[in-house]
């Protein structure tokens, strides 16, 4: 049943994406796409590749922030491969990032890291991921002056995400402290990777999982991931000849990330593209350019890493 629902979600997302492309193609003049090709600067595509490669390095630094306080050492290359695999698992099994917990556990234990530090990596990664997302949204919306009448709706959706994320973080903190009065909600264990996360909460050493320094560093590296993703979108706009303000592109990207996070479609397929195209258009980017940059971004950040992510995830999850 879960697999069937997953395939339905993918199908709906692809249909939504196809509909979006069709609508934009009909609304835009063919000469607009020709002009984009004429003004394109392919060198910026290479910049976008480098920026996306750096996101996996920042993801690896989150785990190193924990492991650096222990006697265990894992090579940066191994952590980099794990970050690719985790991306695939989180995208293929949408569960608010929880599904990647099992991969982190298997990957680090295969490399000789003790159970306690491994579980601390899981807890720190899960909590700081949401903390960084909330901070990035607040910063982005604080810089936005072009949202206009949509501001109330955007802030309302952000408030919902902050409330849900805050509740999850508090829940994780209480469980990881061994507070027997707080138990997971009914059905929580059915989420892919949730059982691994629950074990992590009980086994993670508090001096690692609750260290203010570790949490601050990990939050910073997760925040950098959002900056690098937004910079990738900006570079792709430059690649098709559009010079947009970096701060506005960052806000547009975070609005798209908000739609992707609150959506139920795997990987935000279709919803992210619609939100990104709409936000970029709202800030003055031509419709055809907004869609082109968004589709390119999804190709660089989502579709291209899927094949190596699938291959690496099978290796990481192998007993």
Residues 6+ apart with CB under 8 A from 69: 207, 208, 211, 214
* pLDDT given at position 167: 78
Per-residue pLDDT for 36 more than 90? no
What average pLDDT does the segment 294-316 reach?
Answer: 80
Which stretches within the chain are classed as H helix? 2-27, 30-39, 43-67, 76-92, 100-110, 115-143, 151-176, 194-203, 206-209, 212-239, 246-262, 271-282, 287-298, 306-316
9 vs 60, more confident? 60
Range scoring the smallest mean pLDDT among 93-102, 229-238, 299-308:
93-102
- The encoded tokens of residue 246 equal 């970096």
Per-residue pLDDT for 303 more than 90? no
Q: Average model confidence (pLDDT) for the chain?
A: 77
Q: Are the C-beta atoms of residues 288 and 186 closer than 8 Å to each other?
A: no
- The encoded tokens of residue 196 equal 């691994």
What average pLDDT does the segment 291-315 reach?
Answer: 81
Q: Are the C-beta atoms of residues 239 and 296 closer than 8 Å to each other?
A: yes
* pLDDT given at position 19: 46
* pLDDT given at position 270: 65
CA–CA dist 65, 69 (Å, integer): 7
CA–CA dist 149, 153 (Å, integer): 8
**pLDDT category of residue 209 using cuts at 50, 70 and 90:** confident
**pLDDT category of residue 296 using cuts at 50, 70 and 90:** confident
* pLDDT given at position 200: 66
234 vs 275, more confident? 234
- The encoded tokens of residue 147 equal 């949202």
Give Dmax over CA atoms of the chain in angstroms.
Answer: 65
Of all residues in the chain, the percent with pLDDT exceeding 70 is: 68
Note the pLDDT tens digit of each residue in 89-144. 776 665 555 567 778 888 888 889 998 898 888 889 888 988 999 899 888 887 77
* pLDDT given at position 53: 92
Which stretches within 263-305 are classed as H helix? 271-282, 287-298
Per-residue pLDDT for 148 more than 70? no
Which secondary structure element, helix H or strand E, spans residue 183, and what is its range? none
Note the pLDDT tens digit of each residue in 66-78. 999 999 999 999 8
**pLDDT category of residue 7 using cuts at 50, 70 and 90:** very low
Q: CB pairs under 8 A, 24+ apart, for 180-187? A: none
* Terminal-residue alpha carbon distance, the chain: 25
Residues 6+ apart with CB under 8 A from 259: 157, 268, 271, 272, 274, 275
pTM confidence score: 0.79
304 vs 171, more confident? 304
* pLDDT given at position 63: 93
Note the pLDDT tens digit of each residue in 154-207. 677 778 878 877 777 777 766 666 554 455 555 555 555 566 666 666 777 888
Q: Are the C-beta atoms of residues 198 and 178 closer than 8 Å to each other?
A: no
């Amino acid at each position: 049943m879960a697999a069937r629902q997953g395939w339905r979600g993918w199908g709906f997302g692809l249909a939504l994406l196809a509909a979006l492309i069709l609508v934009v193609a009909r609304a835009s003049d063919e000469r607009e796409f020709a002009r984009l090709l004429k003004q394109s600067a392919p060198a910026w595509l290479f910049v976008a590749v480098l920026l996306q490669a750096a996101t996996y390095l920042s993801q690896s630094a989150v785990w190193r922030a924990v492991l650096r306080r222990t006697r265990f050492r894992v090579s940066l290359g191994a952590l980099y491969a794990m970050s690719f695999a985790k991306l695939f698992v989180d995208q293929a099994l949408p569960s608010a990032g929880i599904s990647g917990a099992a991969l982190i556990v298997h990957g680090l234990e295969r490399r000789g890291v003790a159970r306690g530090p491994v579980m601390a990596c899981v807890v720190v990664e899960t909590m700081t991921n949401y903390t960084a997302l909330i901070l990035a949204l607040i910063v982005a919306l604080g810089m936005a002056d072009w949202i206009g009448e949509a501001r109330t709706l955007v802030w309302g959706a952000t408030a919902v995400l902050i409330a849900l994320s805050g509740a999850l973080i508090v829940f994780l903190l209480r469980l990881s402290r061994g507070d027997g009065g707080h138990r997971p909600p009914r059905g929580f264990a059915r989420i892919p990777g949730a059982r691994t996360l629950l074990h992590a909460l009980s086994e993670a050493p508090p001096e690692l999982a609750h260290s203010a320094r570790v949490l601050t560093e990990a939050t910073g590296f997760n925040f950098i991931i959002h900056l690098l993703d937004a910079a990738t979108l900006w570079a792709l706009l430059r690649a098709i000849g559009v010079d947009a303000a970096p701060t506005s592109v960052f806000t547009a990207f975070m609005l798209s990330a908000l739609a992707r996070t609150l959506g139920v479609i795997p990987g935000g397929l279709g919803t992210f593209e619609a939100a990104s195209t709409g936000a970029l258009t709202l800030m003055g980017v031509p419709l055809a350019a907004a869609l082109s940059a968004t589709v390119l971004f999804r190709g660089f950040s989502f579709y291209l890493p899927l094949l190596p992510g699938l291959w690496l995830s099978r290796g990481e999850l192998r007993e």
